[in-house]
Structure 1
Amino acid sequence: MNVKRSLLLIFILASLNATAQKEDYVKFGGALRFNIFDKSWVDDATQPEATLDTWRLNVDARTAGIDLSFEYRFYPTSGNSHFLHHGYLGYGFTDDLYMKLGVSQVPFGITKYASHSWWFQIPYYVGLEDDYDMGIKFDYTGIDKLELNVAYFRQPEFNGGASSDLDANASRYSYDITPSDEAAIRELNQFNLRAAYQLSESVEVGVSGQFGGIYNEVLEESEMSTAFAGHLVANVGNFNFKGEYVYYNYAAKDNSGNTLDKIQMGAYAYNYNVAAEANMVVAGLAYSIPVEWGPISNIQTYVDYSVINKAAAGFEPTQHLVPGMLITAGSIYTYVDYAMGKNNAWLGADTWTNGLAEGSADAEWENRFNINIGYYF
């Protein structure tokens, strides 16, 4: 009987301790995604093709009121690249003020995504959608209907790893400036301001500003880089609309002190050139259809369009059009996209290096039918 009472006492004390520590936790998760695709510019027996898109590891935790959020990704078919997606410590000073220290999403434009499809919109491919950098960010919601984000980023996110024949400086999730033989440049000391106001429960408008240095290691000096955005997000019934206007000027000089009209950017261990100055228009419309088809609970149809108009003389616009649908079945999300592009780095055989820079007046529309199946846990 004494043994039973002792065990009962131990159980009660353990339960009380667990209750006292209920706010502390460690949660592991991840994802596994596959791609099935057919490219219009490839005409051989390899099409259509199925590949392992990515797998990832997530850790979320809390201790003593301090949060941890971490995600690391692996892309076996993209040069065996692997890199940190995000990793930060979070702390809530009050219910209205939250800080993130580490690699977190840059507060710019529509967050978390300006897109509905698996393909993002054009701003992602020039570092202005779902971008992640290393620094400190504050989110403030203490003013009615208004969210303010203020951030300082010392540098881009950390480099990961990749095959030896690829560029380790470009082994990252989001696009950032990478050094080339002509221009030993990198992003340094960036400030971001973002304000989003709820006109109603279903309509958000916002403005964003980004100011930072582009440092040339040969010249040992920085040029001021700027970007501005205005956005609108609206939900009307089952419809969702995302609209955005973006202007940017990645002011930078080459190693001889000449102003650049295009710069090198990289992600997934690959580099390409981007117009140094441009404006972009983004629009996307989606419609959600609740269903009860076995495990399928929702189908969201959408069409996303964006265009980048470049400032340099003779540079041709880049266009990006993606109709598709997202099928939700529990924790399995399937994107079915028909991605179309003109002077688009990711869509075409001859557009990779300079499609987002000078492009070509003779460029044709290319397309890729893509199915991305992901299980998230």
Structure 2
Amino acid sequence: MSAFPPSVLPPALPTEVGPVRHLYVHVPFCPSICPYCDFHVLTRRSGQVEAYLDQLEREAAMLAANYATDLDTVYLGGGTPSFLRDDELARLTQTIRRHLGWGKIENTLEVNPGTVSAARARHWRSLGFDRASVGVQSLDDATLKFLGRQHDAEQARQAVRQLTSAGLRVSGDLITAVAGQPLESDIAGLIELGVNHISAYTLTIEPGTPFARRGVTVAEDDERAGFERTAELLGAAGFGRYEISNYARSGEHSRHNSAYWQNRFYLGLGPGAAGHYPSRDPQLKAERRTNPHLHDWLAHDFASGLAGEAEAIDAEEHVTDALFMGLRTRAGVNLTELSRASGIAVGERYAGPLQRNLVAGLLMREGEQLRATEQGWWLLNKVLADFVNG
């Protein structure tokens, strides 16, 4: 990390005050593995889920002993959390409630359309979930087949209807830039179903995935066209783009994911789960930790503390993390607040990259609020690399 002379600033504020308010729980089990997937996922084997739930109890107890919590949001991601059987998911939620509490504002379950029934949707609502993030990906059968999805378009439509009828807020995931995909009808179909939040992600070919081994590629022109056309269509339909990949009607944004983008603290529970933790070292702002995958996570003794290696976050990395996350959002980053929280005069320390990206039209500044432009969102990795390199 580069050294720089201290600037005269008011005393640095802590990154957050009080208990941790957000919890991410990773459920790694899936009915099948999609060819584009790069997450820690696996199909279930005999006894594996029971061992997972036993260890989850131990980890939750350890987290509760080490961190004060007053949860606003809980998010079950994966994998496919809705792939758990009803009694398994009930036990998981009981574990969370017993040791860490439950979200007062929002509790999200990631859902595969093929796992939904009217009865199961009502069961999930009874467990305390009020929001479902549904892996629709497309409403075109040919596109779904190419993506290796196990559901068809009608199953996806039916799943959304059943979840909505059970009283859950529904977010639909959509993959864009797939060759031959009817993007306009995909978006129109989700809107017609009454979905009030859409997460639209460009198909990305990650190394080591089946798509990568098969030589599947995505043309940059197709990426850009999908990126821009999605924004155009959803904007015209009244969906505000509040983050690069996320669109919502008024009041329907994801409270949990917004905590990530605001660089808040959150606990990570389960194999492969990441967390952003308060640090007990007064010289540090936080620590980042990612749990090992299932085999090593199951073998860990949580009586000895957290699993995985901690990555210390000092003041300068706190700034770049906040920029990395905050510039993804429509709101952007307040430079005065970030300077106070970090103890670094951000405008002075990063004067070079700020000026270069403002002149290039990739960033815009209104008073102390720094935002990415539409072009800046498309080239955000380049913008952020400029800040990291200083």
TM-score relative to the length of structure 2? 0.27
Bigger fraction of residues in helix: 2
Structure showing the higher strand proportion among its residues: 1
TM-score, normalised to structure 1's length?
0.28
Larger radius of gyration: 1
